[in-house]
Structure 1
Amino acid sequence: MRLRDILLALIIGLCLWQAIVILTDAPHFILPSPWRVANAAYNSRVIIAENAWVTALEVMLGLIIGTALGVATAIQLALSKTAERLILPILVFTQAVPVFALAPLLTLWFGYGMASKIIMAVLIIYFPITSAFHDGLTRSDRGYGDLSVSMGAGRWNFMRHVQIPHALPSLGTGLKLAAVYAPIGAVIGEWVGASKGLGYLMLLANGRAKIDLMFASLIVLACLTVILHITIGILATRITRYAQGTSQK
């Protein structure tokens, strides 16, 4: 995703937005114009920045913790067939429960602070990362496994030198998905119960009929998500190049 493409999409989106406002003649308390939203964002820039920082911190901590847990789980599943038979079906079954439905329980258990939002972000990205990385680990060429056994290499050495490098592109794919899902989890948690964050600010603005501020908060959230997705995409590209370089050695 190049900067030029992002700017072009932004310009097209703003033009369509303004055209809808003009054609529908919608009142500003239902659909504010881009200018009204920009003005509200400028006037409320301090409070938006404070709440955006809270949401960004929740998302980043959720990503770090969720990635660490997902990678560790995927490696354990790949190392142990027993763990794979027992744990993998449970992980798949848990996806039948909507993660968003757990938000009220998490708020009840962990309070209205950041903890419940971080856990919400962790839960929503844990399975995609685990599934993507585990899939990559189990797709390594069996010939390498047979060769490592004939050379006396242990199971962990084969995992470290062969399976993990070959699975890094799959991990990069999981991370790119997580970059999109993590902000959703954090904001859902803020909607259920919070005193800070962009989700909280959106609800507060909606309750006070400040729709322009609500739109401004939503756009800031979208920008944070895009920035995070681009950053993770760059990281995923470097991970893939590293994996390709390792496989060629």
Structure 2
Amino acid sequence: MKQVAERYYFLSIGIFLSFLLVWEITARGIALAFILPSPTEVIIRLWELREPLLLTHLPATLSIILVGLIISVLLGTGLASWMSWNTTAEKAFYPLLIASQTIPVIALAPIFVLWFGYSIWSKVAVAVLITFFPITVNTFDGLRSTSRELKELMRTMGASRKDIFLKLSLPSALPSFFSGLKVAVTLSVIGAAIGEWLGAQEGLGYFSRRMMTQFDGAGVFAPIVLLSLVGVLLFIGVVVLEKWILKWRSYT
């Protein structure tokens, strides 16, 4: 099984390298770097801009992502627990939760800038709006899918509703929670970038937008590469945390 997994990893790397090769050939054939820079030009520009990107703009974006994720986890798990505990809360808030995802985030981002100005909170609000939904819904589905037979068994053993929730429902919902969190961490990068694009004074999204006004194609792509790396590393971090916490769950 391990050899099969390694083979798939090599296949993924091969596809990615083939994509970069096609991109490099196409970009050099077009020869319009301000529209489509080649991967080598992006890497060179990334190295040239390493100081402002890594020392100023990357920390600003990371702070938005982390604060947004913390707020989303606290609010999402809290609301999911409340809805699973209280049927009235489920009927009242679940439709609102679904409706919140029908509103284009790109339309709300300027409103957040009006409310919070160019501070970190306007960008955090965008990140929370995007990441709150998958965490809440996945956690709620995990809580609701707790085995009924195990619940009945615990009741016959004298367990209270609180005991069932804390000792059965919450542990059973952890895999679903981490599934939602893995989606949320990648979306948080998008939310931070959108917020910075529409109103910020620093950050990778802001820097990319500034390079666009200067017709610097490689400069536009350089912070995007960093954003992609941040998303991948956050995803890997959640996977590692999930495997560490859910040691009882078998992984293949």
Q: Given the alignment of the two structures, is residue 59 of structure 1 paired with residue 71 of structure 2, yes or no?
A: no
Aligned to 1:13: 19
Aligned to 1:43: 48
- Relative distance call for 1:179 and 1:46 in structure 2 (3 A) is same
Aligned to 2:225: 219
Separation in 2 of the partners of 1:107 and 1:141?
45
What root-mean-square deviation, in Å, do the aligned CA atoms of Structure 1 and Structure 2 show? 1.9
Separation in 1 of the partners of 2:81 and 2:65?
24
| Structure 1 residue 83 displacement after superposition | 0.9
| Structure 1 residue 57 displacement after superposition | 1.4
| Structure 1 residue 113 displacement after superposition | 1.6
Amino acid across the alignment from 2:123: K
| Structure 1 residue 6 displacement after superposition | 6.7
* SS of the residue 1:31 aligns to: coil
Given the two structures, how large is their TM-score scaled by the length of structure 2? Answer: 0.90
Amino acid across the alignment from 1:100: I
Do 1:190 and 1:200's aligned partners in 2 also have CA atoms closer than 8 Å?
yes
Separation in 1 of the partners of 2:142 and 2:111?
33
Aligned to 1:187: 193
In structure 1, runs of 5+ residues without a counterpart are none
| Structure 1 residue 43 displacement after superposition | 1.2
| Structure 1 residue 168 displacement after superposition | 0.6
Aligned to 1:164: 170
Q: Given the alignment of the two structures, is residue 233 of structure 1 paired with residue 222 of structure 2, yes or no?
A: no
1:40-68 residue CA offsets vs partner (Å, 9 max, x unmatched): 11111111112011111111111111111
In structure 2, which of residues 90, 94, 97 is the aligned counterpart of residue 88 of structure 1? 94
| Structure 1 residue 195 displacement after superposition | 0.3
Matches within 5 A, 1:191-202: 191-202=197-208
Do 1:172 and 1:237's aligned partners in 2 also have CA atoms closer than 8 Å?
no
Amino acid across the alignment from 1:167: A
In structure 1, which of residues 103, 111, 115 is the aligned counterpart of residue 109 of structure 2? 103
Separation in 1 of the partners of 2:235 and 2:15?
16
* SS of the residue 2:58 aligns to: helix
* SS of the residue 2:102 aligns to: coil
Separation in 2 of the partners of 1:138 and 1:236?
20
Amino acid across the alignment from 2:45: A
Identity among equivalent pairs (%): 35
Separation in 2 of the partners of 1:98 and 1:30?
27
Separation in 2 of the partners of 1:237 and 1:13?
31
In structure 2, runs of 5+ residues without a counterpart are none
In structure 1, which of residues 143, 148, 152 is the aligned counterpart of residue 154 of structure 2? 148
Any runs of at least 4 consecutive aligned residues in structure 1 with deviations exceeding 4 A, and if so which? 1-10
Separation in 1 of the partners of 2:90 and 2:59?
39
Q: Given the alignment of the two structures, is residue 205 of structure 1 paired with residue 220 of structure 2, yes or no?
A: no
- Relative distance call for 1:93 and 1:192 in structure 2 (3 A) is same
| Structure 1 residue 228 displacement after superposition | 1.0
- Relative distance call for 1:5 and 1:113 in structure 2 (3 A) is farther
1:158-199 residue CA offsets vs partner (Å, 9 max, x unmatched): 011001111111011001100111011111111110000011
| Structure 1 residue 8 displacement after superposition | 4.3
| Structure 1 residue 11 displacement after superposition | 2.7
Mean Cα deviation higher: 83-92 or 24-33: 24-33
Amino acid across the alignment from 1:65: I
* SS of the residue 2:17 aligns to: helix
